[in-house]
C-alpha cells in the first residue's frame, strides 16, 4: 500500500466530513498524520 501526503495537505484541519450520509466531526487532523507515519516507520518493512 502506498501512502501519499504533503505538508500542505497535513496542514488542513477540516471540522466535519460526510460519513454514511451524515455530517460528523472529522477524524483527520495533522496529529493523526504524524501518528500514522510514526507507526509506519516502526513497521518491520521500512517506508520507501
Confidence of residue 48 (pLDDT cuts 50, 70, 90): low
Which residues, in sequence order, are bridge partners of residue 23? 18
Integer Cα distance of 23 and 21 in angstroms: 7
With a cut of 90, say whether residue 1 has pLDDT above it: no
Confidence of residue 24 (pLDDT cuts 50, 70, 90): very high
Task: Give mean pLDDT, residues 7-36.
Answer: 84
What are the residue boundaries of the structural domains of the chain, listed by start? 7-42
Task: Give mean pLDDT, residues 17-46.
Answer: 85
Q: What is the pLDDT of residues 33-44, one digit of tens each?
A: 888 888 888 888
Q: Say if CB 29 and CB 13 are below 8 A apart.
A: yes
Amino acid at each position: 500500500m502506498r501512502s501519499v501526503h504533503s505538508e500542505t495537505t497535513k496542514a488542513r484541519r477540516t471540522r466535519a466530513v460526510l460519513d454514511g450520509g451524515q455530517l460528523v466531526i472529522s477524524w483527520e487532523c495533522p496529529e493523526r498524520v504524524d501518528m500514522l507515519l510514526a507507526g509506519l516507520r516502526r513497521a518491520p518493512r521500512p517506508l520507501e
